Amino acid sequence: MSPMMFELLLRSLWETVLMTAASGLISLIFGLPLGLALVATDRGGIAEQLWLNRILGGIVNGFRSVPFIILLVALIPLTRLIVGTSIGTWAAIVPLAIAATPYYARIAEVSLREVDRGLIEAVRAMGGGRWAIIREVLVPEALPGIVAGFTVTLVTLVGASAMAGAIGAGGLGDLAIRYGYQRFETAVMVAVVIVLIVLVCGIQWVGDRLVTRLDRRG
Amino acid sequence: MNQHFSSAGATLPPGDVAPAGDVVRIVDLKRRFGRTPAVDGVSLTVRKGEILGIIGRSGAGKSTLIRCLNGLERPDAGQIFVEGREITGLSERDLQPLRRRIGMIFQHFNLLSAKTVEDNVALPLKIEGRSKAERLARAAELLDLVGLADKTKAYPASLSGGQKQRVGIARALAARPALLLSDEATSALDPETTRSILSLLKDINQKLGLTILLITHEMEVIRTIADRIAVLDAGRIIEEGPVWSVFADPQSEVTRSLLGGIRPQLPAAIAGRFARSGREAILRIDIAGEAARRPLLQELAAAVPGRYRLVHGGIDHIQGEPVGTLFLGAATPAGRLAEVVDFLNARGARVEVLGHVTDDV
């Protein structure tokens, strides 16, 4: 592989990491509260509001049912509004984050739902309000699942970012398609796949280690 | 099975709890789920410093009743006064300061797995907004009280069931409550651990003067630590009184059945040999209080000549009062059995002729 090719590979890796990290972070910031809201507003939740729960659930399902490649194109006006341009790595972060947020919200929701209701009751019984329940019970008790779910989301984002090449975002997937597939440069294709495997394994390894460290449930 | 129990170290005179005021007063409380009433018109008071045990079978409404007291459950009708203040109808927000006056312990401990023992105990104070130094000092003090001073930094998952409940008790005491609610706190523990947890609760009740309301389905729990008992069945209180007197003379079938496992019963080996007539009558004698302190059998033998022998039973001490159930084999001259019964009745015993056996069993 030529030095130019190597440099291209490094740049693509950086683009993928940037897209994954930025959209992952955004999905964490918005997805976790959304997951909390889905649990809290549901029947028997700490802030039961069934109509709100249905609306939130509907929005989440709506976004999750749109194929990412369609979302990528459909969100172009919004992307232009936020980033100022509809092409490039930064532009891809908007649709990636918007796709990942409801995805992560559902994963976080599952973990939050698994928190023993007895613990919520115990904190209510000691005079704790909703905020105390969220801060002292729901989030800390679900944290291993929340972190594990975030790992899954990041890995999914690595895959989804390959499609972002369609709007000129670059990244490893784009490199593999343009050089490896369209120009029959097998070496590039193999190199990209290896880098992707290492990247995904790395994310998973860090996530797993973190979960083990956080999990005190014995 | 013959059971011999030693006194649980109760120092209070039976049924005599200082009327220093009621911590809880419940008036005609009702709560139904769908069409089934869970609590169906309960009126009850919990006096300052006492341990009141509410017993009932599963589904009797115990949990619903106890959860109404700190507003975890909303009653449909009736009133609850905690330290003189009515709590029914309070909003969730107004209930919060009240709940800090009421500690609660649970069957499954409900400790937060992500927090250390110390942080679990300190949590009620954190919610109250106390400083970290104050919280940790109080947690250390309480963990010392429950005998877990060496587990401060441990996580609940590494503790045994008994240790977890000790942490639960320490946590419930953190905010210096006026009342401790115990929701089947020993039901998930083995008998030995149950005894140690109960003696801890009794200790706290006596050392701190803490009022305790506990619900259980185990009569043994009531026998060991309660001062008063209330029997709940189908959402109603069907019997209530000092533990020793209810044990000595249960009025309802449900109470008798709940006592079945803890009071001596006629052994099947004897019941199986009952004949229509026989030379020896088998009597069940229930005695308590003064009657149980007298040399009853000696007096009986002097009054009505015959051959008397104990076939089963014993005398238990509850709250320091003797409560006995004796199964007596009485071989008396023909026609004099009625005299035996009359004599025992006159001495304050309840007597029931269960049957006759022809030869020694």
Share of chain A above pLDDT 90, in %: 74
Considering only the beta carbons, identify the residue of A127, A140, A214 that sits closest to B97: A127
Backbone dihedral region of B9: left (phi > 0), alpha (psi from -120 to 50 degrees) or beta? Answer: left
Looking at residue B360, its pLDDT comes to 60
Determine the residue among B63, B99, B151, B163 to mutate to test chain A binding: the one whose Cβ has the most chain A Cβ atoms within 10 Å: B99
**Separation CA B168–CA B22 (nearest Å):** 25
A137–B112 CB contact, under 8 Å: yes
Whether B16 has a pLDDT exceeding 50, the answer reads no
Q: CB of A163 within 8 Å of any CB in chain B? A: no
Burial of A73-99, coded b for 16+ CB within 10 Å and e otherwise, reads eebeeebeeebeebebbbbbbbbbbbb
Q: CB of A217 within 8 Å of any CB in chain B? A: yes
B103–A126 CB contact, under 8 Å: yes
Looking at residue B361, its pLDDT comes to 53
Q: How far is B207 from chain A (nearest CA, A)?
A: 22
Q: What residues of chain A lie within 8 A of the CB of B70, using their CB?
A: 125
Looking at residue B273, its pLDDT comes to 85
Q: How far is A111 from chain B (nearest CA, A)?
A: 14
Could you report the per-residue pLDDT of A148-203, keeping only the tens digit for each? Answer: 999 999 999 998 988 887 788 888 888 888 888 888 888 888 999 999 999 999 99
Give the nearest chain A residue to B159 (CA atoms). Answer: A218
pTM: 0.87
Q: How far is A46 from chain B (nearest CA, A)?
A: 11
Determine the residue among A120, A126, A130 to mutate to test chain B binding: the one whose Cβ has the most chain B Cβ atoms within 10 Å: A126
Could you report the per-residue pLDDT of B63-121, keeping only the tens digit for each? Answer: 999 999 999 999 999 999 999 889 998 999 999 999 999 999 999 999 999 999 999 99
Which range is least confidently modeled, A112-121, B140-149, B176-185, B346-355? B346-355
B128–A127 CB contact, under 8 Å: yes
Q: CB of A43 within 8 Å of any CB in chain B? A: no
Looking at residue A109, its pLDDT comes to 97
Whether B206 has a pLDDT exceeding 70, the answer reads yes
Cα B113–chain centre separation: 30
Could you report the per-residue pLDDT of A22-48, keeping only the tens digit for each? Answer: 999 999 999 999 999 999 999 999 999
Query: What is the bridge-based pairing of β-strands B307-318 and B228-233?
Result: unpaired
The ipTM assigned to this model is 0.88
Contacts 24+ apart (CB under 8 A), A9-15: A9/A172, A9/A175, A9/A188, A9/A191, A9/A192, A9/A195, A11/A170, A12/A170, A12/A171, A12/A172, A12/A174, A12/A175, A12/A192, A13/A172, A13/A195, A13/A199, A15/A89, A15/A161, A15/A169, A15/A170, A15/A171, A15/A172, A15/A174
Across chain B, mean pLDDT equals 89
Mean pLDDT of B4-26: 54
Could you report the per-residue pLDDT of B284-335, keeping only the tens digit for each? Answer: 999 998 888 889 989 999 999 989 999 999 999 998 899 999 999 999 887 8
Q: CB of A77 within 8 Å of any CB in chain B? A: no
Q: Identify the residue whose tokens are 């994954």.
A: A20
* Phi, psi (deg, nearest 5) at residue B10: -70, 130
Q: What residues of chain B lie within 8 A of the CB of A132, using their CB?
A: 127
Mean pLDDT of B122-148: 96
Share of chain B above pLDDT 70, in %: 94
Looking at residue B133, its pLDDT comes to 96
Could you report the per-residue pLDDT of B19-68, keeping only the tens digit for each? Answer: 457 999 999 999 999 888 999 999 999 999 999 999 999 888 999 999 99
A127–B110 CB contact, under 8 Å: no
Whether B7 has a pLDDT exceeding 60, the answer reads no
A128–B70 CB contact, under 8 Å: no
